Chain A
């Protein structure tokens, strides 16, 4: 394969991924509004297009054409950089997510991910924690106490939950011995007793539960949406952002949600593997289930009090995650010794 061909393939994949993620984001807002509305016994958006399907387009255009206001006392450079950092990091994180096995296009092997990194999972985690920079800088640069408080909370929250997030998937890594999404998914192939898929959620139920809780906290979604707690902080870190800059923060949050759902599917729910349907479709369906869970939880749970959030992170999730790592490691060691 020549250099030029590789370049073309990577470029095509870049564009495809960008389009996929941004459409995903747009329609995620629609899904969220619809689902939350139905749970609240309302209809949700239904005016723009059939079933309100053109609502994201209308919203996007509205945000583009709104007046872009910058506070007079804002730190200009950081103020502009912060939303960009948020979105770029969010988009970058998705690069290593593998949505299917390698396919043959025109006699050429093409992997269904942007980069086949052998420390993929670690890379996603790194990018997820980088995302907090966007939020902190956004909160700080506006010179507004509410935004600043939101940014600080975000920092504290991400530090507290990142630990448990990282530890909760160590179990999976111990079992597979690889950080590569492809290997992790392939390790979950086949069935137990002929019908139970060999998903890691059955081997690592505690790990999976902890991972999902921490993932919600990591992307600042309800009930862990303390950084933008609208009842106390107006809108948190993005209070003073308007127009397209606000939209970038908004996009970053949703893209992070998609990434975290994709990671959950990869690590615990067998990735793209499933009967009959094509792999990419299976992957998308599974991701959609988790995106629905994000929305469902948001519509169900009230926001945690700040001290409870910290208590939960440090006194419950972290010990549980450590215990999970210990038990898994012990089981692996015993298995090696006696079987």
Chain B
């Protein structure tokens, strides 16, 4: 017992103390989040964007394949008919209502794969903040990328 005590106190203890002291000189590994941010991996999947064609028309055609493939049932799409007066997308129909519930979404990216026009893509914005659950239902105007040129956008 005594022998082990001396072994511990005279050999093991200084060794341990030296190790901890050595670590205290290292630069902390903590990322100071709001000021400092980690670089995301190249293929990170985060918040969705609804993209436009080069001429400013929406890519989404309201086919709801994304909603169908969604394993979390997070997407709700309602299609509308394009008319001569109000044209949103090149084809017959466009996504009139497009909502994603970000609390349900698991960011699997299936919607992106299913989309025939590559309208929905998962981007690099990962900061979802809201005071209530309502704030996590992202509507079309939140998801849609800003129009490239307002004059080419249909009225409506």
* SS of B interface (majority): helix
Which residues on the A side are within 8 Å of B21 (C-beta)? Answer: 39, 296
* Min CB–CB distance A143 → chain B (angstroms): 38
Could you tell me which residues of chain B, from 1 to 44, have a CB within 8 Å of some CB in chain A? 1-2, 5, 9, 13, 16-17, 19-21, 23-24, 26-30, 32
Which residues on the B side are within 8 Å of A312 (C-beta)? Answer: 5
* Min CB–CB distance A222 → chain B (angstroms): 12
Taking a contact as CB atoms under 8 Å apart, the answer to whether A316 and B2 are in contact is yes
Query: Which bracket fits the contact residues of B?
Result: 10 to 19
Taking a contact as CB atoms under 8 Å apart, the answer to whether A43 and B28 are in contact is yes
* Min CB–CB distance A308 → chain B (angstroms): 10
Taking a contact as CB atoms under 8 Å apart, the answer to whether B1 and A311 are in contact is yes
**A-B residue pair count with CB separations less than 8 angstroms:** 44
Taking a contact as CB atoms under 8 Å apart, the answer to whether A301 and B16 are in contact is yes
Assuming A43-B30, A301-B16, is B24 touching A35 (CB within 8 A)? yes
* Min CB–CB distance A39 → chain B (angstroms): 5
In the complex, A312 Cα to B20 Cα: how many Å? Answer: 24
Assuming A39-B23, A312-B5, A316-B5, is B16 touching A300 (CB within 8 A)? yes
Which residues on the B side are within 8 Å of A297 (C-beta)? Answer: 17
In the complex, A41 Cα to B16 Cα: how many Å? Answer: 16
Which residues on the B side are within 8 Å of A301 (C-beta)? Answer: 13, 16
Taking a contact as CB atoms under 8 Å apart, the answer to whether B30 and A42 are in contact is yes
Query: Which bracket fits the contact residues of A?
Result: 20 to 34
List chain B positions with a Cβ less than 8 A from chain A. Answer: 1-2, 5, 9, 13, 16-17, 19-21, 23-24, 26-30, 32
27 A-B residue contacts at CB 8 Å? A37-B28, A38-B23, A38-B24, A38-B28, A39-B20, A39-B21, A39-B23, A39-B24, A41-B27, A41-B29, A41-B30, A42-B28, A42-B29, A43-B32, A46-B32, A296-B17, A296-B21, A299-B20, A300-B17, A300-B19, A301-B13, A311-B1, A315-B1, A316-B1, A316-B5, A319-B2, A320-B2
Q: Which 10 A-B pairs have the closest CB atoms?
A: A38-B24, A300-B20, A316-B5, A39-B24, A39-B20, A300-B16, A43-B28, A315-B1, A43-B30, A41-B26
